[in-house]
Structure 1
């Protein structure tokens, strides 16, 4: 099942229905089926219904009859629908043909199951779930049980075990809460599948995501979790469910004792611990939370904890509530407590650390902090601690996740202890609460605020934080006097407010305001904001604003200015930005682009040189559409994070934490840009005249920080690295994860020069894509292979003169002996549109010293064989038996016209043993696909598709053997044979073939195929053979069906 994609969807669905969400996701997973259904229905509409109606209309016209208006409208609408469908098919094909830049992360972080304990009752259920997955017959499996029993933890452990056992090609966990965001779900799936795409639109991203999924949806398995069995059964359609119950008494005590540190030597302490553990009714989440909170504490802390728990129980709260409140009170850091409450009050499962940083700064949560960098470091430390205490579900670089139950406790504590008002999570607020409720509030958080009528004044004189979020199409309209009595306000966060012609006039009373969020607002004249002289953060992200007033330059204490996605912003007057001398972070992505040239005297807009006065700047997002306006000394020495896009044509995307640089230059690279180059983690280069060797010309240190490199559309680059030219670096690209080379018309070498044995290069490279580099004759030097052990995906396309993938340097330059070429981690290999390719590697392999004596005779024979074959020009196999891909799962070979043999005749069982998907297309000289020995080794093959091979006659060749043999394709589910004019049979030998899992056979345009095979054939699960135009046929068994189709075709053609 190595080719499957398993989607483990962790859904908290106890109180609400997620069927609409599941329907949304099914559009992604079952896209191909939907497209095929559309084709069938359109063909039926066009070929049957419309033609019949049109004939009736034509007959009526001939008889001089009047045609009803509704009939004419119907025909016109049918024509429009057919036209729309035609456009859709064309768009889909363009999307499929587009070469994408794919990056597969080393580990899908959401699959982590840290802290998982092997409890016997859980281990039994885990074993049963894994057996169900291995069986592969059920595609929707459920886990259900009460809150706190560990459903999500178990699901993550299932995912981890499935990934470890290579049961699925990809394992993805998606958490869905009531705040359904299908676009976020798509994004999480895309990230986990290793898809990087630049499209800004949701439709663009969705279409890109559908392509890799569409051919694999049949193998997808869904693991769904819920508190409610009826939801799983009736609404989500699970085929089998597993009930997860509370722990037995002994299991609960064992878990508690282990997590609390096994410090039970004191009998009195042990007695208290037993009472505490029994109080949580076998709920592992509560047990773990409290045990971690009390670990290594003295007996007084344990006594206090027991007293607190008893008190909470008397108040009628549940066990989970008790555990969480106890864990909160045992946080030793007051900042951690405040941050935990703040996270809960955000009202979401996922909370961005960017938002937490800004709120914490405005509220003064962090003490003794002098910069945003220090605050960010403190924030990461505290979220890590909260996660360790089980108060956060996840703690990632950019966001944290908090469980619904935990968030509810945080809101309850904040409401009780800090006079905070927060509307029930996910419930829309349409009317303003009673003023008496709000009068003493210090914080008001309304994350789902859709009110149309606000009070004239908010009578909350102690209010410090006000957050109103409106994501509807109608803007909030706030009275001018609303803020007159909230003069202590420090954080004001309003999303979706109408501020035309001006914001509420009472805004100028908020002289203590530290943070002002006007997110997704309609703005016009915001001059008054310049009077808020204590402001540290101004966020106008995604707001509709055309002009940033000069008065903003008066905000001398401003540390962060966010103008991200203010796409209407046309004017920033000169000196506004340069006057913000305290600015540490500036976000202008997908925003203002009308920078003046430094030599311009018009004075209507800012110029880039102003930014160089911002000496405290550590974060910069900046699009620069014209490289000509760059100052020569454009230099920032303190940047910790940046996304700088220079030149037109770049689309903006949203990873705030990376150092990303995109260059499209028609001039040489300047000094300031070179500094960004040296520190970049993600680098894209377009055009770039004057560069011939990427490393040697741009960064002699070897790009030590770089993780992703894309180079495209250059006519001067000859190689990526030239070892002839002296370099200061011993290791080149030491951290590079992905490399994409596109449209480099003069690229001749990836690495050039003497042997690379003494230079480490690409030692962490996982993904390598090469496209339309016509002068490139090979990818890797033989001496580089040892550095490429981490490669996961290789894609080579459209290289006109590519002869082989791996080539040896001169023999006298090789100082290393190896037993063969192995790519131990490679999962996917695509070779397409390579008209000159003959073989993967023709190099004679030198054995290691330990094996040399025993192999001398064999090597002599092998060498002779290679040389003889080489003289004949095109009989070399694509892969000789010295080349090994022990973990390869997907292999695509298209448009390789010189290819005659794929595998060497000798045993290759260990070389391709995990291959799951094999696609061969347009290889005109290929006569057969594999020998019997190779067929027997493909024990994990699941999908085989052979198309447009003019001379192929059979899939499995008999190797000249006359005796019968048994060949089993144990996991093969889908076989497609399309447009093969010379194809006669799967195998011409009298062998027995077993296909126990085969469910789909497609045979199209194979006019010479008289039978499937002459020997015995077993395919118990196959019930239909699909032909052209999705026509299906079945005559009892596969051989009989193929014979029937052959006879039917020849009878219809008159032959």
Structure 2
């Protein structure tokens, strides 16, 4: 780094053909790494070509001080680490740990087993091993998967592939769901969101009537149980796990108290023949049981909850199955083969219904469940039946995963007056546009204006002309809203969107014709995550897109603009910019000249931890003396593929202070005292980081 900062002219004599060769080699290197990650063998002619390029390039650039890259990305670490909180380093465990670490370093050992009774700390010990192995650089990637007593080999393959960055062509959406924690499969990630939805149907909390209140209570309860060691962190945000010992105890208590009956194999189905036994339970869960093996009907059972899962989608549920379980409050069906049984209409007290990964085309019968409060549909339906509009008690409607849904009848949504939460991620987006002739009359976005209790909304609006009134957006507590035709629900730019950490997310294609709309202004002011594609006529983000400095924004992703010159044009005002922003990514901004034009207000970017710049071909530098006092919390910098960039930090002002003046030098430079990672690559004209300042002044020694 010292060499880079001290010299400015070490690339003057480099020939352009060498640069081109290096770029080509880099591209091939990337593809080779990807192939190796997919366990593919590299072609012999490719290896020979890379060797030849290395020899030619070395000969051309020897003694020139030219580097292929100035930094490199830290390899992606495999999976969320196994939690080691609470791990006690007893002497006996220390000996075992040392033995395992020694075995890991032995090339002749290919498998290591850790044995012991449940509850002795095997999982935490393995987590400690994984952490120490990474710290000692024994492995670049550690992949953790859980193999239960009844292993699902296909799911294990998917878990491993996911952590290695691979994909299966037939990969389905995971569904880590059941109800009471005793009903979940062994070592399953339990989604908190699913749990509180089920508890809405069971009216678990007395005198709590709003979905928002139930959600908050469940989150508080889960965090309290985690703190007590009764629950573990899950592998993803918004999830948790039960330790196998805790789960076994819970199942024992549930069975003893005649609460839950769990059936996991076809052999256990004999319990169904004991009608007296069945009457004693209030809930039943069946995993991996073929629906064709179910009894024709449940006789006089006082069940409140049923969870049925057929992993093979092999057969429908017997038609009369639900006729006599009229007290049922919650029903979860996964893997159901069409059609829905006609006896579903007998469940007059049902308050929560989940249909997941079901091969069902007609769900009109659901309209007869008048007391339904929470409805989740993830099926292959193409039309939402008009009968759904009869569910006037509905508080939550989740249509995520209905990726073939094309029709929602006009005025159906506006009938759901009690609706509080509406989820349409990856689902319907063919809203009716007034003035356009269509084959069918679909729902209008404006119908949402009639839902006065709505607090949560996930929706894709391809045309900004049909936005609902601003009042709707003012009431929202959480949202994920896509505005524009080119968005993908699955593209989250690598950001974590845990519902409590990022509750307001906006992805928008914006141009001058719509930026003054009241609803858009409210969304821009309130959003915590903004993915922005600036359109025609927009030259800067602040103060053209927003006048108030984005006071709530935590993550900003700006991309694909040919007109943006500045992110901030301070000539338009001196508002503190992005005061709580944590990450910013600027990608494919071909006309971007500066991040900030003119003096940046003190306090701007004061919480920024991550900065990413890529494919900004007109950007000469990133930071300047106009930004002094900002970026004090910056931890990660990544700058890639910027053709004309010649230094990272530049001086702009004519009267820049001489760095030899020791009394004033610290007053006019940008410090990066928290920086941990610096990744610079494919910057052909880069001359240095900062031509006039010693790197030790700028960086923490850990960089």
Q: If the length of structure 2 is used for normalisation, what is the TM-score?
A: 0.78
2:428 corresponds to which of 570, 573, 592: 592
**What SS is found at the alignment partner of 1:796?**
strand
Q: Would you say 1:842 and 2:657 are equivalent positions?
A: no
Residue 821 of structure 1: how far off its partner (Å): 6.9
**Partner in structure 1 of residue 330 of structure 2:** 491
Contact conserved, 1:733 with 1:761, CA < 8 A, in 2?
A: yes
Contact conserved, 2:83 with 2:232, CA < 8 A, in 1?
A: no
Q: Would you say 1:411 and 2:228 are equivalent positions?
A: no
Q: How many angstroms apart in 2 are the aligned matches of 1:121 and 1:803?
A: 57
Q: Would you say 1:698 and 2:545 are equivalent positions?
A: yes
Distance 1:158 1:574, change over 3 A: same
Q: How many angstroms apart in 2 are the aligned matches of 1:127 and 1:668?
A: 63
**Partner in structure 1 of residue 565 of structure 2:** 718
Higher mean displacement: 396-405 or 560-569: 396-405
Contact conserved, 1:574 with 1:605, CA < 8 A, in 2?
A: yes
Contact conserved, 1:598 with 1:608, CA < 8 A, in 2?
A: no
Distance 1:637 1:574, change over 3 A: same
**Partner in structure 2 of residue 382 of structure 1:** 221
**Partner in structure 1 of residue 409 of structure 2:** 573
Higher mean displacement: 435-444 or 509-518: 435-444
**Partner in structure 2 of residue 736 of structure 1:** 581
Contact conserved, 2:233 with 2:241, CA < 8 A, in 1?
A: yes
Q: How many angstroms apart in 1 are the aligned matches of 2:223 and 2:108?
A: 40
Contact conserved, 2:534 with 2:564, CA < 8 A, in 1?
A: no
> RMSD of aligned C-alpha atoms?
3.9
**What SS is found at the alignment partner of 1:374?**
helix
Residue 39 of structure 1: how far off its partner (Å): 3.4
Residue 788 of structure 1: how far off its partner (Å): 3.4
Residue 429 of structure 1: how far off its partner (Å): 7.0
Distance 1:580 1:184, change over 3 A: farther
Distance 1:431 1:704, change over 3 A: farther
Residue 361 of structure 1: how far off its partner (Å): 1.4
Contact conserved, 2:145 with 2:156, CA < 8 A, in 1?
A: no
2:449 corresponds to which of 586, 602, 612: 612
Contact conserved, 1:174 with 1:189, CA < 8 A, in 2?
A: no
Residue 614 of structure 1: how far off its partner (Å): 1.5
Q: Would you say 1:345 and 2:187 are equivalent positions?
A: no
2:645 corresponds to which of 798, 802, 825: 802
Higher mean displacement: 522-531 or 808-817: 808-817
**Partner in structure 2 of residue 393 of structure 1:** 232
Residue 414 of structure 1: how far off its partner (Å): 1.4
1:116 corresponds to which of 87, 99, 115: 87
Q: How many angstroms apart in 2 are the aligned matches of 1:182 and 1:790?
A: 39
**Partner in structure 2 of residue 316 of structure 1:** none
**What SS is found at the alignment partner of 1:37?**
coil
Contact conserved, 2:509 with 2:534, CA < 8 A, in 1?
A: yes
Q: Would you say 1:648 and 2:622 are equivalent positions?
A: no
**Partner in structure 1 of residue 159 of structure 2:** 185
Residue 716 of structure 1: how far off its partner (Å): 2.3
Q: Would you say 1:450 and 2:450 are equivalent positions?
A: no
1:147-296 counterparts in 2 under 5 A? 147-159=118-130, 174-177=145-148, 178-179=151-152, 181-182=155-156, 185-186=159-160, 189=163, 202-203=168-169
Query: Which digits, 9 at most, give the CA deviation of each residue in 1:249-284, with x for residues without a partner?
Result: xxxxxxxxxxxxxxxxxxxxxxxxxxxxxxxxxxxx
Query: Which digits, 9 at most, give the CA deviation of each residue in 1:496-544, with x for residues without a partner?
Result: 22334xx222111111000111212233332222121110011112x01
Distance 1:696 1:33, change over 3 A: closer
Contact conserved, 1:804 with 1:840, CA < 8 A, in 2?
A: yes
Q: How many angstroms apart in 2 are the aligned matches of 1:34 and 1:340?
A: 34
Q: Would you say 1:887 and 2:702 are equivalent positions?
A: yes
Query: Which digits, 9 at most, give the CA deviation of each residue in 1:385-427, with x for residues without a partner?
Result: 2223322122675111012332222222212213422114x77
**What SS is found at the alignment partner of 2:666?**
coil
**What SS is found at the alignment partner of 1:413?**
helix
Distance 1:560 1:340, change over 3 A: closer
1:831 corresponds to which of 661, 674, 680: 680
Higher mean displacement: 178-187 or 637-646: 178-187
Q: How many angstroms apart in 2 are the aligned matches of 1:103 and 1:672?
A: 41
Higher RCO, Cα 8 Å, sep 6+: 2
Q: How many angstroms apart in 2 are the aligned matches of 1:106 and 1:635?
A: 41
Q: Would you say 1:462 and 2:309 are equivalent positions?
A: no
Q: How many angstroms apart in 2 are the aligned matches of 1:460 and 1:347?
A: 27
Higher mean displacement: 670-679 or 649-658: 649-658
Provide the aligned length of Structure 1 versus Structure 2. 620
2:201 corresponds to which of 358, 362, 372: 362
Q: How many angstroms apart in 2 are the aligned matches of 1:202 and 1:686?
A: 30
Contact conserved, 1:460 with 1:485, CA < 8 A, in 2?
A: yes
Contact conserved, 1:578 with 1:611, CA < 8 A, in 2?
A: yes
Residue 360 of structure 1: how far off its partner (Å): 1.2
**What SS is found at the alignment partner of 1:840?**
coil
Residue 810 of structure 1: how far off its partner (Å): 1.4
Distance 1:728 1:761, change over 3 A: closer
Residue 778 of structure 1: how far off its partner (Å): 0.5
Q: How many angstroms apart in 2 are the aligned matches of 1:428 and 1:694?
A: 64
Q: How many angstroms apart in 2 are the aligned matches of 1:368 and 1:109?
A: 38
Q: How many angstroms apart in 2 are the aligned matches of 1:487 and 1:727?
A: 65
**What SS is found at the alignment partner of 1:529?**
helix
Distance 1:183 1:356, change over 3 A: farther
Distance 1:419 1:138, change over 3 A: closer
Contact conserved, 1:534 with 1:555, CA < 8 A, in 2?
A: yes
Residue 672 of structure 1: how far off its partner (Å): 1.1
Q: Would you say 1:560 and 2:400 are equivalent positions?
A: no
Q: How many angstroms apart in 1 are the aligned matches of 2:481 and 2:292?
A: 40
Q: If the length of structure 1 is used for normalisation, what is the TM-score?
A: 0.53
Distance 1:787 1:431, change over 3 A: farther
Q: Would you say 1:39 and 2:43 are equivalent positions?
A: yes
Q: How many angstroms apart in 1 are the aligned matches of 2:574 and 2:157?
A: 46
Distance 1:417 1:782, change over 3 A: same
Contact conserved, 2:259 with 2:280, CA < 8 A, in 1?
A: yes
Residue 577 of structure 1: how far off its partner (Å): 0.7
Higher mean displacement: 821-830 or 718-727: 821-830
Residue 664 of structure 1: how far off its partner (Å): 2.0
Residue 551 of structure 1: how far off its partner (Å): 1.7
Q: How many angstroms apart in 1 are the aligned matches of 2:677 and 2:193?
A: 36
- Runs of at least 5 residues in structure 1 that lack an aligned partner in the other structure: 1-27, 44-101, 207-338, 846-879, 889-1055
Q: How many angstroms apart in 2 are the aligned matches of 1:431 and 1:524?
A: 32
Q: How many angstroms apart in 1 are the aligned matches of 2:267 and 2:421?
A: 34
Residue 187 of structure 1: how far off its partner (Å): 8.0
1:515-526 counterparts in 2 under 5 A? 515-526=352-363
**What SS is found at the alignment partner of 1:391?**
coil
1:480 corresponds to which of 314, 319, 333: 319
**Partner in structure 2 of residue 668 of structure 1:** 514
Query: Which digits, 9 at most, give the CA deviation of each residue in 1:472-496, with x for residues without a partner?
Result: 2x34312322111111111111112
Contact conserved, 1:619 with 1:642, CA < 8 A, in 2?
A: yes
Q: Would you say 1:505 and 2:359 are equivalent positions?
A: no
Q: How many angstroms apart in 2 are the aligned matches of 1:788 and 1:134?
A: 42
Residue 559 of structure 1: how far off its partner (Å): 0.7
Contact conserved, 1:748 with 1:777, CA < 8 A, in 2?
A: yes
